[in-house]
Amino acid sequence: MRIEIYLESKDKKNTLIKYNYNYMLSSAIYSKFVDLEFFRNLHESESFKFFNFSKLYIKHINNSNSEGLIANKGKVKFILSSPNQYIITNFLSGCLENPELRIGKNIYKITQIKEIKDPKIHKKEEINTLSPIITRTKEEIEGKLKIRDLAPSPHFFRNLEKNLIRKYILFNNIENTNLKVNISSEMRYVKEKRILIEKYGHKTYNRCYLMNLSIEGDAELIKFAYDTGIGEKNSMGFGMIKIKENK
């Protein structure tokens, strides 16, 4: 299930959208869950969260500075997606109770929420990224095991496939699946991003990619990728995809 949330600054003044807002927007989404026990279990889980959000879309950019972009009247929107309908309905209930959303220091009015109709999924789809993809690997460096962000390569794409199948198995509480998927790219459009996540005073720089991809396999698995995102850190705003309408 996928919804689009429209926001406007509470006082209709321009707002500064910081470049590295992922953690702030993730926290804002969590703040709307009305089932506190569900929120606590989800937030504290070390496993996949099974929700995903897009970048912030700014209707009119007035200006920019070293910290971020200036949104005219604070008008922005984003997309929230999950294969778990309870996550979406929980968020919606919180928005009905209090139609405001705090992202960092900015307070926004929730002016509109639209449900996005699911696309018809085929066994092969061309997709665009609505937020950058990250996938990582562990490797030994100077005798220590370290995590390294991968650049697009055969290893990068195989990691995306394995990660998607692992998420599907865990979400459906099954031991294994025969569903298959192949993810690739002709690399016609690749844009590297470096996003800072600052959480509890700890800074992590994430090398990630906006790009066009091809995904081929079982339609059920492709639909799951559409709902939950591909790659890692989906609940921190990475890996949201859109099915290309004109192929």
Q: Distance (Å, rounded) from C-alpha 53 to C-alpha 43? A: 16
Catalytic-labelled residue, pool 6, 19, 30, 57? 30
Q: Annotated catalytic, 122?
A: no
Q: Which residue has the tokens 């889980």?
A: 45
Q: Annotated catalytic, 57?
A: no
Residue 67: exposed, middle, or buried by beta-carbon count in 10 A (0-12, 13-18, 19+)?
exposed
> Across the chain, where does the E strand assignment appear?
2-9, 15-18, 52-53, 57-58, 61-64, 68-71, 76-81, 100-103, 106-116, 124-129, 136-141, 144-149, 181-184, 190-199, 202-217, 241-243
Enter the tokens of residue 116: 């996005």
Among residues 190, 167, 187, the alpha carbon closest in space to that of 177 is found at 167
Enter the tokens of residue 184: 């690739």
Catalytic-labelled residue, pool 19, 21, 23, 43? 43
Q: What is the set of active-site residues?
A: 30, 43
